[in-house]
Structure 1
Amino acid sequence: MENDLERDLKELRDTFNTGKTKEYSWRISQLRGLLHILEDRENDIFLALKKDLGKHHVEAYRDEVRWNSGEKYKLCSRKLEAMDGCQKDADWQVALLLDSPTLVTMCFLATNSFFGPPSVNCTLSRSMRRLRYRVVLILLMRTCWFEEFITVELHNSLFFSYLGVFVRTMSVVFTCHQSGSASNGVPTTLFEGVSYQALSVRSPTLKLRESVSLPLAAFPSSASLIPEPLGVVLIISTWNFPIGLSLEPLIGAIAAGNAVVLKPSELAPSCASFLAETIRDYLDNSAVKVIEGGTDKGEKLLQLKFDKIFFTGSKRVGRAILLAAAEHFTPVTLELGGKCPAVVDTISSSRDTNMAAKRIVWGKFGPCAGQCCVGIDYILTEKKYLPKLVELSKKYIKQCYGDDTADRTHSMSKIVNKRHFSRLKSLLDEPLVKSSIVYGGSLDEESLYIEPTILVDPPLDAEIMTEEIFGPLLPIITLERIEDSIEFIRARPKPLAIYAFTENETLQKRLISETSSGSIMMNDAILQYAVDTLPFGGVGGSGFGRYHGKYSFDNFSHEKRKYATEILERANMVRCHPCQTLVDTESKLGADGDPGSLADADWAGCPTTRQSTSTTLVYCETMSVVYLSSNLVQHQRTKHIKIDIHFVHDLVVAGQVWVLHVSSRYHYADIFTKGLPTTLFEEFRTSLSVRSPTAQTAGEC
C-alpha cells in the first residue's frame, strides 16, 4: 500500500513538473469537468448523501450541489412537490424568512408570478422586479423543505450573485485578466451561454500578475506579485458535507495550478466512492487523484511530503496533522470547529423575537441535523427572555420538522454512525444534563435518529458545555445581564462563529471589538458561509487559514515577488552582476581620465566658488543609498550623491568602458536648471553675446 501511495505521489509530482497543471487551458478543462460531474451525476450525489447521512434531496441540493445544469447549462425548472412529511405552510415559510410587510408583499408578488397570475394587476419597475427576484432567492436558499427552482430571467440577472459558494468559487477563481479571456475578465470557456453581469460587478478580480508601488529610490524599476502553484497538495475532507467540502477546496487547488490528492472521509463511504469514480472519469487522473481508505491510509499519506495540506475536521485529528506536517515543514490550513454561541437579546418586538427563534431553529437543526461546524452550539440569553424563547423554539421545531418521529426522520439527517450516536447519547445521560431537558430527548439507535432537543442551564462543567456538540442538542444558558455574554465567550476557546440576535448597537459593537472568532453575524445564522466575497476560516482552536471564492485560489498559491530593473533590460545588461565589485569610496575627483563622478553641490557650500566638502566618488548599492539619504549627518553634508551603477563600474574595471572627466562648467544640466555663480554666469552670458544685466543675479559668500 505504501509503495502504491509513493508511486501515485511521484506520478503527480512528475505531472506538475512538466508544467501541465499551470496551463490556463488545463485548469479551465478541469473546472468544467467538475461542472459536468454535478450536471451528469446529480441523482447519484443525492443517493450517496441519502445513504451516508440520510439527507433529504432538497437539503443535499441546497447545501452540497446548490445548482443544476443541463446541456448548455439549462436552467432548473422544478415545481413544488410533496416533501415526504415536510411541512409546506406557505404563509409560515414566507414569515420565517422575511422581516417587513414590504418584503412579504414582494415575496408574494414573486411567488404569484412564478406559480400563477397575480391576484391583483400591478406593474413593477425593473428595480422592483430585481428586488422581487432577490427576495425569492433568499426564500429558496433559506428554506430547508423547498425544491429550488430558477427561471430564465432570474438566472441571467442574479443567479451567480445569490446561489451557493461552491459554484461561485468555481467562477470567481478564473475571473482573471489574461489573454483569451472575455473583456470583462470572465473566461468565456468556463460557463457557456450564461450572463456574466452579476459576476463582473460583484466578484473580486483575480489577476495573474499584480503590480505594486515602489519608492522613488527604486525608479525606473518595477515590482509585482505573481501567484504560482505550490506543487502537490493534499486535501483531507470531512463527512458532514462530504461532497461540498471536498470539491470546494479542490476548485481552489486546481484553479491555482496544483496537482491534487483528495482523501475523502471514510465515515461517508458512499460519497467517497462516488468522488473516486467520478473524478477518475471526469478529470485528469495524472494530476488529480482520490485516495480512499480509513485512518491507516490517512496516516500513510501524512508520512509523505506534500507542498500543502488542507484539512477539514476535528481538533483531535487536526492536531495530529499539524505534527505530521511539521516533519516536512509543510504549510497547513485547518478548518476545524468549536462551540459557536448565539447571543439572543431580541425582545424589542414580537416580530424580532419570532424571527430570532425561527432562524435559530434553522441554524441549529437544519444543516445536517446540527452536525455542522458553523451551526449554533448553544444560546446565551437573559432569564427574562427564556420562557418566550423556549416556547417559540418548540413551536417552530414542530412547524418545520413535523410533530412525530416519522415525519422528522424524513426531513432531518441522521447521525453519521453508531459511535457518534453513542457520544451524543452519553452527553444526555449525565443526570444533571438529563434533568435540564425541556423539550425532545428521544433517541432511536436503529435509525440513528435523535429528536431536536432543548436544554435549559445544564451544568457548565458538563461535557455538553465543554465539548463541541455536533448534533441536534441545543443548550440555553441564562445570564443576569446580556452584557455578561461577552465575558462568557472570552473565557472559552475561540469559536468558529458568533451569532448575535440583537438590535442593541452598543452590544453589537462590543461583541465585534471584545470577542475573537472566525466570523460574527448579526440577526441571522450560517449565511456568512454562503458569501464568497468573504473568506471563511477560524482563529485559534477553531482553525487557521481561509478559503472560498478568491481566497480559495490564494490559499493554494504562493505570491512570488518579482523585482525587475527594467533599465538593465532596455540596455541589454540583464546578465551583469551589480555586486561583483566592492563599494569604492577612495576614488577622488580629477581630470586625468580616472573613473570620476561629481558629488555635486554641497548643501552648505558656496554658490559662487562651487566649493564642495564632498568631492568623493561614491560607489554604492541601493541599500547604501537608502541609508545615506536617511542619515541626518550625511544628509546635511551632501545634497546630491552621484552613484555609478555597479554594472558600469564592473565594465570600467574590466577595461571595456572608459569614463572621461567633464568640467562642471560644461555640465549643461547645471547651466540650464540651476542658479549659476557669478563667474560662470558671466562666461555663459558672454558666450551668448548678451550685455551685462542691470542687477546681480547671484549672491556672494
Structure 2
Amino acid sequence: MEGEGRRAFDAEGSAAVVSALRWSYGTGRTRSYEWRADQLRALLRMMEEREGDVLDALRADLGKPGLESFIQEIALAKDACKLALKELIRWGKPQKVSTSITSFPSSAEIITEPLGVVLIISAWNYPFLLSLDPVIGAVAAGNAVLLKPSEIAPATSSMLARLLPEFVDKSSIKVVEGGVAETTALLEQKWDKILYTGGGKVARIVMAAAAKHLTPVVLELGGKSPVVVDSNVATKRIAVGKWGSNNGQACIAPDYVITPKTFAPKLVRREYVKTVEALKTTLVKFYGKDPLASNDLSRIVNSNHFRRLTDLLDDDKVSDKIVHGGQRDEASLKIAPTVLLDVPLDSLVMNEEIFGPLLPIIVVDDVEEAFDMINSRASPLAAYLFTSNRKLEDKFVRSVSAGGMCINDTALHFANTSLPFGGVGESGMGAYHGKFSFDTFSHKKGVLRRSFQGEVPTRYPPYTRKKQRLLRALLDGDIFGLLLALIGWAR
C-alpha cells in the first residue's frame, strides 16, 4: 500500500487519491486471478518477514504482550491470507442456477465481480488485524482499496504506511494516515463500499456521508456483550476472554456477567468452590498479586480512555461494589483487572460500553431472567452462555438477539473463519471473515443466457384471449388449465 504520510488531506487531495485508485481499477488489473493471488502472497510474506515490526508497533500503542499480539492479530491475519489463497478460484467461480419454464430453453448463472474502489476505516484496539483482515477480503474480491488506520494507534498506523508499499501494488492499494480531518475529507468522496470498525457515534457520521452517494456500508461496532453463567466451570474462560483480550479493550470482550443469586458467591470467592478455581484466584494466577506489574496485561490506550474508565470505577453507585482489583496507575496507563459484584443497573458502568478491565456482575433470581434483561437493551455484538443445560442453551440461542454467540467459552467464535462476524442493530450491520469477507466486497450478478431457438409467440402482443388463458395457466402452474389452453390454441 502506498502510504500517504500524515499530511493533511483536504477535499482536493482526497479526490486525487480516489481518482488514482479509480484509474488503476479501470485498467482491469485488479480483476485477474494473478493480481489477487500476488497481492495476497505479498501480504503473507510481509507478515512473515516483518513480524518484529508489527510486534514492536503493537507494544508501543497498547503495551500488548508479544504472544497475545501474535495469536490475536498476526496469526489470524495470516490465516485469512492463506484461506483466501486456497479458496480464491472456488469463491470466484460462476454458480450455475436453475431456470424456469418461462425462459425455456435457457441457462442461468451468478457471476461474482468486484465492487470497485472501497474504503476501509480501521480501529485502534486491534490495529493490525482490523486493518489487514478486511483488506485481505477486498483484495481477494478484486477491488482497489484505500485503508485509513486509526490515529489512536499511531505506531501501527505508521508501520502499515511504511511497510506495505514495499510488498504490494501501490497503484491499486493505498494507505492514508491522519485523524478527523483526513477521515472527513475521504468520506466526502464517492466509494463503492465502506467498511468502518469503531463506535456508534462515528458510525452514524460514516453512514450519513455514504448515503449522499448511495454507498453501501459495513459497520463493525460493539456494545455491552453479556455473559450468562449457569455453570461453575466458567472462570478461566471468562477471564481470558475479558482480560486476555487487550485488557478488556475489545468489542467482543465480556462486558458484564449475569448469574443467579445461588451461584454469584461461587463465581467470585474461592472458599465456596471445591471443583474449580473461582474468578479471583484465576486472576491472581494469570496476573499475579500485583497485576499492574504484569507483563501479560495490556495498558489502556491513552489518558482519555484511562480517565473514562476511572470515572466509571469511581461512580458512587459502584465504588463499594469492588470485590477484586481496582488498582490503577495513570503514569503507566494501567488498570488492574477489576470485578464488581451486584452492580446497580442504573450505574454508569452498566449504561455504556466499558471497553476496559472492569467486569460488573449482575445478580438475578433465575437465570432465565437474564435473557429478558439482555433483550431489553441494544443488541450486543456478542453474547455468551455457560451452562450444561441443553434446553437452556437452545432457548438462549433462539431468544437472545446478538451479532454472534459462543457457548461455554468467550471470543473464540471470532477466530472461526467459517462463521460470519458482524453485528445486528446498534452493534453494526454486514459481516466479514473468510468467504464472508470476499462476499462483502463482491457483487453477485445474475446472468440469463438464451439461444434464438424456442421462440414462444404467446409472450408478444396482441394479447388475445387464447394467449391470456395459455400464459395464466403456464405461470400459475395449472397443468390441467394448460392442457385445455393448448387444445383451444390448436383449434
Structure 1 length-normalised TM:
0.65
Secondary structure of 1:384's counterpart equals coil
In structure 1, what is the equivalent of residue 238 of structure 2?
360
For the Cα contact (< 8 Å) 1:261–1:288, is it kept in 2?
yes
In structure 2, what is the equivalent of residue 169 of structure 1?
80
Identity %: 43
Please state if 1:384 is matched with 2:262: yes
Please state if 1:630 is matched with 2:448: no
After TM superposition, list the pairs within 5 Å mapping 1:595-614 onto structure 2. none
For the Cα contact (< 8 Å) 1:243–1:271, is it kept in 2?
yes
In structure 2, what is the equivalent of residue 48 of structure 1?
57
For the Cα contact (< 8 Å) 1:259–1:287, is it kept in 2?
yes
Pick aligned residue for 1:14 from 11, 23, 30: 23
**Residue by residue, what CA displacement relative to the aligned partner does 1:354-411 show, whole Å, maximum 9, x if unpaired?**
x311111111100100001011000000111111111211101010111114532x11
**Shift in CA distance, 342/637, structure 1 to aligned 2, threshold 3 Å:** same
Specify every segment of 5 or more residues in structure 2 that has no aligned partner in the other structure, as ranges.
Answer: 1-8, 270-277
Following the alignment from structure 1 to structure 2, what is the Cα–Cα distance between the partners of residues 585 and 49? 71
Please state if 1:39 is matched with 2:18: no
For 1:546, give the aligned amino acid.
A
Pick aligned residue for 2:279 from 357, 376, 393: 393
In structure 2, what is the equivalent of residue 639 of structure 1?
486
Structure 1 residue 582: Cα displacement? 5.2
**Residue by residue, what CA displacement relative to the aligned partner does 1:523-579 show, whole Å, maximum 9, x if unpaired?**
1111001111111111111111011001000000010010111x23xx6x9xx9x99
CA RMSD, 1 decimal: 2.3
Pick aligned residue for 1:433 from 310, 313, 318: 318
For 1:59, give the aligned amino acid.
E
Pick aligned residue for 1:524 from 409, 412, 434: 409
Following the alignment from structure 1 to structure 2, what is the Cα–Cα distance between the partners of residues 211 and 540? 34
Q: Which has the larger strand fraction? A: 2
Secondary structure of 2:64's counterpart equals coil
In structure 2, what is the equivalent of residue 241 of structure 1?
126
In structure 2, what is the equivalent of residue 62 of structure 1?
71
In structure 2, what is the equivalent of residue 513 of structure 1?
398
After TM superposition, list the pairs within 5 Å mapping 1:187-586 onto structure 2. 205-346=90-231, 353=232, 355-391=233-269, 392-408=278-294, 410-565=295-450, 567-568=451-452, 583-585=461-463
Following the alignment from structure 1 to structure 2, what is the Cα–Cα distance between the partners of residues 381 and 176? 43
For the Cα contact (< 8 Å) 1:240–1:372, is it kept in 2?
yes
**Shift in CA distance, 552/436, structure 1 to aligned 2, threshold 3 Å:** same
For the Cα contact (< 8 Å) 2:292–2:335, is it kept in 1?
no
Structure 1 residue 624: Cα displacement? 8.1
Following the alignment from structure 1 to structure 2, what is the Cα–Cα distance between the partners of residues 471 and 210? 45
Following the alignment from structure 2 to structure 1, what is the Cα–Cα distance between the partners of residues 367 and 388? 13
Quick check: 217-226 or 296-305, which moved more? 217-226
Secondary structure of 1:432's counterpart equals coil
**Shift in CA distance, 561/395, structure 1 to aligned 2, threshold 3 Å:** same
In structure 1, what is the equivalent of residue 273 of structure 2?
none
**Residue by residue, what CA displacement relative to the aligned partner does 1:253-307 show, whole Å, maximum 9, x if unpaired?**
0000000010000000000011111122211111000000011111111111100
Following the alignment from structure 1 to structure 2, what is the Cα–Cα distance between the partners of residues 468 and 243? 22
For the Cα contact (< 8 Å) 1:322–1:332, is it kept in 2?
yes
Following the alignment from structure 2 to structure 1, what is the Cα–Cα distance between the partners of residues 192 and 439? 14
Following the alignment from structure 1 to structure 2, what is the Cα–Cα distance between the partners of residues 177 and 63? 24
Secondary structure of 2:151's counterpart equals coil
Specify every segment of 5 or more residues in structure 1 that has no aligned partner in the other structure, as ranges.
Answer: 67-163, 179-204, 347-352, 587-613, 643-662, 665-701
Structure 2 length-normalised TM:
0.91
**Shift in CA distance, 585/517, structure 1 to aligned 2, threshold 3 Å:** closer
For the Cα contact (< 8 Å) 1:242–1:268, is it kept in 2?
yes
Structure 1 residue 219: Cα displacement? 2.6
For the Cα contact (< 8 Å) 1:175–1:206, is it kept in 2?
no
**Shift in CA distance, 177/323, structure 1 to aligned 2, threshold 3 Å:** closer
